[in-house]
């Protein structure tokens, strides 16, 4: 059996929006509060800087699949 690491490209992420901007993100089992967000020029995704409830700061690139969001990259 081959399990993908949650940071793998294509992993599902959950985003919550307020006034058209992402404000919360869940990746794997970790919840993040969005600190910075920049929409991609073609409006198909976002570059997001976020802080977890434990203070971990991560950067995510996510893209829309129409019915949800997937991870393009994380650091």
The pTM score is 0.85
d(CA 57, CA 4): 22
- Reported as a pLDDT band with limits 50, 70 and 90, residue 73 is confident
Neighbouring CB atoms inside 10 A of 63's CB total: 16
Please report the pLDDT score of residue 2 as a whole number: 36
pLDDT single digits (tens) 4-60: 455 678 889 999 999 999 999 998 889 999 999 999 999 999 999 999 999 999 999
């Amino acid at each position: 059996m081959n399990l993908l690491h949650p940071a793998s490209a294509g992993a599902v992420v959950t985003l919550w929006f307020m006034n058209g901007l992402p404000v919360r993100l869940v990746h794997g089992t970790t919840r993040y509060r969005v600190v910075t967000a920049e929409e991609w020029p073609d409006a198909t995704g976002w570059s997001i800087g976020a802080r977890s409830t434990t203070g971990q700061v991560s950067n995510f690139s996510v893209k829309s699949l129409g019915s949800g969001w997937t991870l393009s990259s994380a650091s």
